Structure 1
């Protein structure tokens, strides 16, 4: 058996470690690219979510490298994400890949431990001694997920202060490569110090006062740079400090009922959406309110074209919350037609408006003082 799974930015190295620790041979699909998107679009229903098309293209890439078993996370609830695995398996069979199996990884509630059965199925190990391997694999996975979140945070902050454009991107790639190669608990325990050391080598200008922007939205769009046209890097290179809570670690800790920040966001959004309606709708609303209350300059909501929960969140922000909290926000919906230049033009205009707004507010404060 050769196993694979779809891309989700750098987070794929955490999943790679999870399965390799169970002695499963893993092949990674090529990083998501235009060819994968074309394949996904060609063989998917027209109005299905964009992540469905992107991950289907990733699966084909993995199959061409020899994968015969594919793992796809699924969830329960009103979101179409719950149907991805079953529909993608049928489409792959229709495309001629008859011997490929798609195994659903249930992550609706990780405390129900249905995912243990999935790990047993893919590893073929069900004896008592296998549980120590499962525990070790999960610990490695969680540690790498947390470290990936720390790296994401550092990248979003340092890029706004770098003197030489591109330094942060190079350090980010180097640190991610080192994390991929770290395969002992001793290395992982000390890796946070390595992150600090490498990022502190960047030549930064501490006199800058960059705009602070929060990014939130659907998880696959937020974490896969190819499908979001690398929006974090583009904003950072404009001199914007990026804050993004959403990460693999953020999601997994939430599913283990240990993410109290998400519970706070649910509390904030409860008057507008009192239940989980799929996607990140609840938490997007909570993020918008929280960032407005903590003095951010603006926010950016990114999501797949036709994603119903995210469109619902956008509507509530536009029609209700923006009038209450007055936090500037820009919306980007992504599909296979999304291009770089149109987005860059919108981001540049948004940056100018944010900058003018802050200068106007500072001018008012000086007059009052």
Structure 2
């Protein structure tokens, strides 16, 4: 059995660690690229979700490298994500690819449902071994998320542009190569030392933007056209509404782990939408409210074209913007999106936020002087 899975940000590091710990041979798809996109788009229904198309491209490329089993997450509720695996399975069969698909459905009542699926992949290894493997993959997700948050802070403040990203790529490689929890702990210390060497101007006045939206587009840099890196170059510190470790806790571990979850954002969304709308639509609204309370200068919603939950959120965000006095902008991406057009729009939004911030600060100083 040679197992593969779709790319979604740094998820490959966590899944690879878990499966290797269980002695499973892993075929990591090539990094998502234009070729991946073309393969997925050519073989998918025209109005299918963009993430489904890209995932399919990942599977086709992994098959070319010898993969024979797909590990795919499932979903429930009013979102097309729950249908991805079934639709992809039909397409893969039509293409004549000899794949076995194992779907990790969100456990409805007991986490044992999820563990049983993993046991199937792990050739019936002991429950203790499986739990240790899951924990190891989980620890890598946590370390990778902490690294991302540090890079978000450093990018707009670094004195040598690109230095933080160089450290980021090296650090991901270190995390990926760690073969035990103890080695991972040593790697985290090593990362901390490397991050300290990035020269920064901590007094630099930066714009702070909260990113909300659909989880896949938020996490996968190729699909969101490197929005975090591009904003960093524009002097923006970003913070995402959701990270991989949180998503794993919410959707696979049923929120059992004691860490930040989507509960707070759902609670904050209640005045605007008091029921689930699928995907992360409700969380996008609630997270925008939270970012306004935390003093962020603006919010950017990132979503794939035709995503129903995010369309609902997009229609409500202007009301949140007015009520909470925080500018919002929605970036819709599909297979036709281009770097230049997206960067131009980001530059315009950041310029608006910077002028707005300067005006508010200038007005406050004037009032203080007169008062």
**TM > 0.5 fold call:** yes
Match of 1:249 in 2: 245
- Mapped partners of 1:238, 1:173: distance in 2: 20
Match of 1:112 in 2: 111
Match of 1:238 in 2: 234
- Mapped partners of 2:344, 2:316: distance in 1: 26
Match of 2:139 in 1: 143
**Please, which runs of 5 or more residues in structure 2 have no aligned partner?**
none
Q: What whole-Å deviation, never above 9, does each CA across 1:111-137 have from its counterpart, x for those lacking one? A: 5332111111112216xxx11210110
Displacement of 1:110 after TM fit? 8.1
Match of 1:12 in 2: 12
**Is the aligned partner of 1:30 residue 2:30?**
yes
Match of 2:320 in 1: 321
- Mapped partners of 2:331, 2:338: distance in 1: 11
- Mapped partners of 1:202, 1:323: distance in 2: 38
Q: Is the 8 A contact 1:11 1:148 kept in 2?
A: no
Match of 2:91 in 1: 91
**Is the aligned partner of 1:192 residue 2:200?**
no
Structure 1 residues 125 and 261, CA, compared in 2 at 3 Å: closer, same or farther? Answer: closer
Displacement of 1:272 after TM fit? 2.1
**Is the aligned partner of 1:209 residue 2:208?**
no
Structure 2 counterpart SS, 1:205: coil
Structure 1 counterpart SS, 2:223: coil
Match of 1:366 in 2: 365
Q: Is the 8 A contact 1:29 1:58 kept in 2?
A: yes
Q: Is the 8 A contact 1:303 1:332 kept in 2?
A: yes
* Equivalences, count: 364
Q: Is the 8 A contact 1:37 1:54 kept in 2?
A: yes
- Mapped partners of 1:272, 1:347: distance in 2: 27
For the aligned residue pairs, the C-alpha RMSD in angstroms reads 1.3
The alignment's TM-score, normalised by the length of structure 2, stands at 0.95
Q: Is the 8 A contact 2:241 2:284 kept in 1?
A: no
Displacement of 1:267 after TM fit? 1.0
Q: Is the 8 A contact 2:246 2:261 kept in 1?
A: no
Displacement of 1:262 after TM fit? 2.1
The alignment's TM-score, normalised by the length of structure 1, stands at 0.96
- Mapped partners of 2:142, 2:353: distance in 1: 32
Q: Is the 8 A contact 1:6 1:58 kept in 2?
A: yes
